[in-house]
A and B are shown apart, each in its own frame.
Chain A
Amino acid sequence: MKKLRTLVLFSLLALTTVLCACTDDKAKNTDSITIGIAQDIDESLDPHKMVAAGTKEIFFNVFEGLVKPDSDGNIVPAVAQSVEVSEDKLSYTFKLRDGIKFHDGKAVTIEDLEYSINKFAGRSGSEPVSSAFSNITEVNVVSNDTIEIKLEKPDSAFLSYLASVEAAIIPKNNADPDNVCIGTGPYKYVSRTPLQNVVFEKFDDYWGEGGNIKNVTFKICTNPDTIAMELEGGTLDMCIHLTKGQKNELANSDFKIYEGTMNLVQALYLNHDFEPFKDIYVRKAMNYVVSSEEVMDFVSDGYGTKIGTSIYPNFGKYYDETLSSVYDYDLEAAKECMAQSAYPDGFNMTITVPSNYDQHVDTAQVLKNELAQIGINAEIQKVDWDTWISDVYLGRKYESTVIGVDAANLSANALLSRFTSDASDNFTNYSNLSYDEAYKAAVDSFTDEDATANYKKCASILNSDAANVYIQDLPDFVALNKAFEGYTFYPLYVMDLTKIKAVK
């Protein structure tokens, strides 16, 4: 009798477990979407302190600057309704959008604008988020809905700096922006659980055409191997930046794969403080011996776009295609360069890679093999993402690293400013006088043509000086459940949630 009871209880238990699994599919709830991301967001929720590309990528939906980029790369008004630029290009007048509200329901006032601009431009004592903002000389409140920014020198790319998460408008009365997250974007931040998830919710009072999906959960999936299974198992509806392996596994499933480029400059970044990398012949040899095509074949099934400098193709007018073939694979040239260098017999080096990015780890393995051909013995060291940020990016304690560098905004500065000798984000410690000059000339240029020409010069200096071993702009695969549609790639490293909607 007792046995029977146990048996009945046990089968009931088993049955409930089994039946629990039979719910989803038919009643796929399109009110909410779960999106997989590879790493946790930054510690601070203050947009002016955000560092990681992956954080800014999703907070693009929460924060807006005076202006913002659209999916074609144009700059459109956001918190400002309109902008007027003076003849001499030294004064920008912004008109505050009527009736625009913060996520806490309060109206955006001109004081908030003044406060935010002073904060991100480093005028209230803090570091400017970008050195470009030190160009601001005055921030004048003209009237209740108009604010004027005056520049020291004309800067043709000034508006594109303002169109980034780093230049977001946040409320003045928020005493703790590190932990309380209030913006003006189409989605508002709800909560986060470290290393688990980040939750957004649609902001109903958004000034423009807001999102279509009410609840958005970003699930942090640091283990790349489980992502395909999670997608098919239904715990994820969407995942960005899939690897080729994950993409291939999803080929015959319920997911639509969107294909674009990641808008990153993937390279073997060299720390110029590391003795061997001070030698230009070594750097050239490394550039010659590394074959981008081979990396693409192994790492991304042959997809990807070869690059030769810190500009990726979506940057249009700044991109010079010829640079990408300067260092085509040439073993003889590489050996010759090595022979001329101070290290004819090669040397040992370490490649530090963040372990959560499969693409970069795989790339490092291919690079190791390629570099071995000219006697360079590369050791790979995998580190977790936080260590990478603190030791490599901020601490600059590394020899070389494989990573993709993104652009915070659509100006060439976003990619090129970090290579000037005294840039705070110059994690490669690159220092080259002629580069600094060319960069300064570009920033000071009065006309757009001049600026473009000078930026191109910067890019070609990085190439001819073999500053880093440039590899590719990675292909980007996004898997989206067929219950949704509309994922749109931007020429920047951002994900726009408002474009995603449920299939009727």
Chain B
Amino acid sequence: MNKYKLNAQKITGIAIVSLMIIFILAGFLNRNSFDTMNKELILKGPSLLHPFGCDEFGRDILKRTQTGMGISIAVSFFSVCIGTFFGTVIGALCGYFGGIIDDILMSIIDVLFAIPSLLLALVFVSLFGSGMVQVTLALGIAIIPSFSKMMRSEFRKQRELEYVKMAKLLNISTARILFVHILPNVMETFVNCVFIAFNNCILAEAGLSFLGIGVQPPLASLGTLLSDAGGYIRSAFYMVSFPAVMLILLLLGIGLISSGESFHHAYSKRFKN
């Protein structure tokens, strides 16, 4: 896959994301615990021992940010996996076969599209209770509509191309055509979709936790860290600013990786070659 040329944007993105991952992994070396309360340290500003300061229970914000970011990324990762899997399968089937399956599935997807994904996740959580697993599932389901739409249009485009017709003539099984022959050719869209979905998931998880239905205290995620700190934004700015900066950096990094090569750009380059 040497089609992927690294450009400055991608390199910056990868650098930022790697830094973030190192930051999270460094959390395992951090001796402070994310839920030990300490009366002496309530709302203490940044110090050598607690570089990010301490929150209203005297808990180390650095450790909480590290744990919280790990949780946020884990939740987003798994929900993207769920969303990508079902989204790709549905999109591939609809796009490749067309016809009645396409009509039915796409009508359902269109209905789902009418509901904002955060609302969809909210409905899911209110049906099945709050918790990390539910939030992961809810976000995963919320991704499916947009993902399958994208994949459908890609597969539709590909099925008219010569190589697919040839493969059909050679009597290659449909599953193989779909996922071995076509899928690699739509990789660019696929990868971009995954990254965008990942970004959306981190934001949505932060949003859900902000509403109090994501991860449960005392465990933290970036969202709960921000919502807990909101009340102290003027008296203890560091409580909200450090997790916020980390969230922004993470999103920026992922965004840079995915936007490094635009869809159109990639195509025109291929035609040139």
A-side residues, CB < 8 A to B, are 224-226, 228, 243, 245-246, 248-249, 294, 297-298, 355, 358, 361-362, 364-366, 368-369, 379-384, 387
5 of the cross-chain contacts (CB-CB < 8 Å) are: A245-B235, A298-B37, A362-B56, A381-B130, A384-B212
Other CB < 8 Å A-B pairs besides A225-B233, A228-B231, 5 of them? Answer: A226-B230, A248-B235, A298-B56, A358-B231, A369-B35
Q: Name the distance in Å between B133's Cβ and chain A's nearest Cβ.
A: 13
The answer to whether B216 touches A382 (Cβ under 8 A) is yes
The answer to whether B37 touches A382 (Cβ under 8 A) is no
A355 in contact with B235 given A366-B37, A369-B36, A382-B217 (CB within 8 Å): no
The answer to whether B39 touches A297 (Cβ under 8 A) is yes
The answer to whether B235 touches A225 (Cβ under 8 A) is no
- Give the residue name and chain of the A residue nearest to B229 (CB): A225
- How many residue pairs at the A-B interface have CB separations less than 8 Å? 61
Within 8 Å of chain A (Cβ to Cβ): is B5?
no
Q: Which residues of B189-240 are within 8 A (CB) of A? A: 212-213, 216-218, 227, 230-235
How far, in angstroms, from A298 to B39 measured CA to CA in the complex? 7
Q: Which residue in A225, A364, A381, A384 is a CB contact (below 8 Å) of B231?
A: A225
- Give the residue name and chain of the A residue nearest to B37 (CB): A369
Mostly, the A contact residues are helix
The answer to whether B218 touches A380 (Cβ under 8 A) is yes
Chain A residues positioned under 8 Å from B235 (CB to CB): 245, 248-249
Most buried by A among B36, B230, B233: B230
A224 in contact with B231 given A355-B212, A382-B130 (CB within 8 Å): yes
Chain B residues positioned under 8 Å from A381 (CB to CB): 130-131, 216
How far, in angstroms, from A245 to B239 measured CA to CA in the complex? 13
How far, in angstroms, from A368 to B216 measured CA to CA in the complex? 12
The answer to whether A379 touches B216 (Cβ under 8 A) is yes
The answer to whether A361 touches B217 (Cβ under 8 A) is yes
How far, in angstroms, from A243 to B37 measured CA to CA in the complex? 19
Most buried by A among B39, B227, B231: B231
- Per-position binary interface string of chain B over residues 46-57, scored 1 when its CB falls under 8 Å from any chain A CB and 0 otherwise: 000000000011
A225 in contact with B130 given A364-B217, A365-B57 (CB within 8 Å): no
B-side residues, CB < 8 A to A, are 35-37, 39, 42, 56-57, 126, 130-131, 212-213, 216-218, 227, 230-235
How far, in angstroms, from A387 to B39 measured CA to CA in the complex? 33
The answer to whether A246 touches B36 (Cβ under 8 A) is no
Q: Name the distance in Å between A361's Cβ and chain B's nearest Cβ.
A: 6
Q: Which residue in A248, A294, A365 is a CB contact (below 8 Å) of B218?
A: A365
The answer to whether A225 touches B230 (Cβ under 8 A) is yes
The answer to whether B212 touches A382 (Cβ under 8 A) is yes
Chain A residues positioned under 8 Å from B56 (CB to CB): 245, 298, 362
How far, in angstroms, from A456 to B230 measured CA to CA in the complex? 43
Chain B residues positioned under 8 Å from A248 (CB to CB): 235
Chain A residues positioned under 8 Å from B230 (CB to CB): 225-226
The answer to whether A243 touches B217 (Cβ under 8 A) is no
- Give the residue name and chain of the B residue nearest to A227 (CB): B231
- Give the residue name and chain of the B residue nearest to A245 (CB): B231
Chain A residues positioned under 8 Å from B126 (CB to CB): 387
Q: Name the distance in Å between A362's Cβ and chain B's nearest Cβ.
A: 8
The answer to whether A245 touches B232 (Cβ under 8 A) is yes
Q: Name the distance in Å between A251's Cβ and chain B's nearest Cβ.
A: 9
How far, in angstroms, from A243 to B231 measured CA to CA in the complex? 10
Q: Which residue in B36, B39, B231 is a CB contact (below 8 Å) of A249?
A: B231
- Give the residue name and chain of the A residue nearest to B35 (CB): A369
How far, in angstroms, from A362 to B213 measured CA to CA in the complex? 16
How far, in angstroms, from A243 to B230 measured CA to CA in the complex? 13
A383 in contact with B35 given A225-B231, A245-B56 (CB within 8 Å): no
Most buried by A among B56, B131, B227: B56
How far, in angstroms, from A219 to B36 measured CA to CA in the complex? 36
